[in-house]
Structure 1
Amino acid sequence: MSIIEAIIIAIVEGLTEFIPVSSTGHMIIASSLMGINKDEFTKLFEVCIQLGAILAVVVLYWKKFFNFSKPSFYFKLLLGVLPALILGYLLGDQIDALLEKPEVVGATLFLGGIVLLFVDKWFKNPTIDTDEKMDYFKAIRIGLFQCLALIPGVSRSAATIIGGMQQKLTRHAAAEFSFFLAVPTMAAATGYKLLKHHELLTSSAENIKLLLIGNVVAFVVAMLAIKFFIGALQKYGFKMWGYYRIIVGIIILAAFFMGYKLEA
């Protein structure tokens, strides 16, 4: 992977991690178009640049994350992240196997897009406009929705936002809690991958340089993407993202059935 390729993948990650379109699907398209060899380091890179993206959440919402006078916030995050961490650990090999199948990513993107077309109609009367009004049981239920994102292409953001709206949160509150929940979720996933494949870093200064560049780029782009998404969600709802997912899903499926090699 070259520096330019690393920057492009990081831009894709930063743009798509927090909006309900699946960063996995977009990185498959980007890496395939560039002809990147999906070796073990490339797969590690695509996971570890999430650190830059989640740092953007911490910086944008620093008052929330460093307000230690309200420990209930941290308990809700812990309860929300536990289901995905447990299931992800137990089904790690099966999840990795699905990541090797672009047709699965394309199908889940397409089906998820159809779901997003109707989300705004399904959850019309929210009663909770901030996570502070949300109890611990709702945090757990949103965490269960997050487990759906273990299926490549579902989109962690989409699953948790829909889960929040199903628990009577407003679109804005559900989106923000989705951002918050991303921090421990992706930090744990990245930490696990780094521990498991630490030799890929210690064996090459070039790999470390690429990871540093990727995380910086993902951080800057994610900062902009989060601000844009909140505004667009408030104004337009989910339908625009639904149509977009359907188009991307069709592109991936069409490429797969036409014999074009997409490497997940």
Structure 2
Amino acid sequence: MIEHSFLQALILGIVEGVSEFLPISSTGHLIVVGHLIGFSSMPGKVFEVVIQLGAILAICVLYWRRLLHVVLDARHDPAARSFIGAIIVAMIPAGLLGVLFHDFIINVLFSPYVVCTTLILGGIAIIVIERLHLETRITSIETLPMKTALKIGLFQCMALVPGVSRSGATILGALLVGVERKTAAEFSFFLAIPVMLGASAINLIETWDLIQPSHAFIIATGFIAAFLSALVVVQWLLNFVSNHGYSIFGWYRIVFGCLLLVYFMARG
């Protein structure tokens, strides 16, 4: 039983770390993979929150120098203040909607069929946007106008629907408003820090009483797996999209979503 739970935790931790920052929907993959391997009971909810924190820690580790520079220099560096302002502005829309519709999202939208549908539609959107050959005007987060950051934040609201992908929504939104590919990905990474920390805090408060000492090993396994796999994926993604774009992720979403839809329909 312990070995089985360890393997489940390891698999889901890797799934979270790999999918969190790719535009393929980590929540969608966790719902589907968790369903397939039978990982749906406690510490399931707490586990999902903690492994997301593992993925976020990877961003903090990879970018600790840049983040530290922004915090320490914000008082006298306009570029650092612009960086912080863009993140704050972009996180507000999804933060407000997430609080207002939290129960509806959790109780109604967390469905394998919703995930399958949004995976497919999101994949089509990626392919279409990549073929538009959009003009690039912004090549750094420090030069991102507040109005543009707000537009990206509005796109992020779509990610409240499971399967859409938070990173996918913010990256595509950024591309549509003229942000260069690599900068769009990095902005998505940094925006994930406050957004996911806030969401994780809410979920941990709601489920704190359900945490038991016996869950510690399983939760720690998933956390470490998510952290290590995210470290690898983030560095790979920046190099990949700079040279190849995002279309491959669109095709992956369509194929994966269609296969899952057939699977769940066959199961009834």
Q: TM-score range by the shorter chain?
A: over 0.9
Does 2:175 correspond to 1:165? Answer: yes
Measure the CA separation in 2 of the matches of 1:169 and 1:98.
Answer: 34
What 5-or-longer segments of structure 1 have no aligned partner? Answer: none
The one-letter code of the counterpart of 1:256 is F
Q: Corresponding residue for 1:187? A: 197
Asked if the contact 2:49–2:204 (Cα under 8 Å) also holds between the matched residues in 1, the reply is: no
> Which of these residues, 21, 29, 54, is aligned with residue 24 of structure 2?
21
Please tell me whether residue 249 in structure 1 is matched to residue 265 in structure 2: no
Q: Is the 8 A contact 1:52 1:218 kept in 2?
A: yes
| Aligned equivalents of 2:208, 2:35: Cα separation in 1 | 25
* Distance of 1:123 and 1:147 partners within structure 2: 24
Q: Which of 116-125 and 3-12 deviates more?
A: 116-125
Question: C-alpha offsets along residues 117-138 of structure 1, whole Å, 9 cap, x if unaligned?
Answer: 1222225210111011111121
2:111 alignment partner in structure 1: 101
Q: 2:66 aligns with which of 44, 64, 67?
A: 64
What letter is aligned with 1:21? Answer: I
Structure 1 runs (4+) greater than 6 angstroms displaced? none
Deviation at 1:40, TM superposition (A): 4.4
Instruction: List aligned pairs for 1:81-230, cutoff 5 A.
Output: 81-201=91-211, 204-230=212-238
Name which of structure 1's ranges 56-65 and 242-251 shifts more when overlaid on structure 2.
Answer: 56-65
Distance 2:46 2:259 in 1: 25
Shift of residue 32, structure 1, vs aligned partner? 2.6
Which residue matches 1:3? Answer: 6
Q: Deviations over 1:160-206 (max 9, x none)?
A: 001111221101111100000000011111111111110112xx112
Q: Deviation digits for residues 136-165 of structure 1, max 9, x if unmatched? A: 121111111111000000000110001111
TM-score, structure 1 normalization: 0.93
1:99 positional shift: 4.1
Corresponding residue of 2:241: 233
User: Given residue 213 of structure 1, which amino acid in structure 2 is its aligned partner?
Assistant: T
Partner SS for 1:109: helix
Q: TM-score, normalised by structure 2?
A: 0.91
Partner Cα separation in structure 1 for residue 134 and residue 91 of structure 2:
26
Query: Structure 1, residues 234-264: CA drift from partner, whole Å, max 9, x if none?
Result: 121111111100011112211121125xxxx
Asked whether 1:12 is paired with 2:18, we answer no
How much is the aligned-residue C-alpha RMSD, in angstroms?
A: 1.5
Q: Which amino acid aligns with 1:13?
A: E
Deviates more, 1:237-246 or 1:25-34: 25-34
Q: Which runs of 5+ in 2 are unaligned?
A: 74-79
How many residues end up aligned between the 2 structures? Answer: 257
Alpha-carbon distance in 1 for matches of 2:100, 2:42: 21
Percent identity of equivalent pairs? 39
For residues 211 and 143 of structure 1, the distance between their equivalents in structure 2, rounded to whole angstroms, comes to 31
Greater Cα offset, 15-24 or 249-258: 249-258
1:258 has 2:256 as partner: no
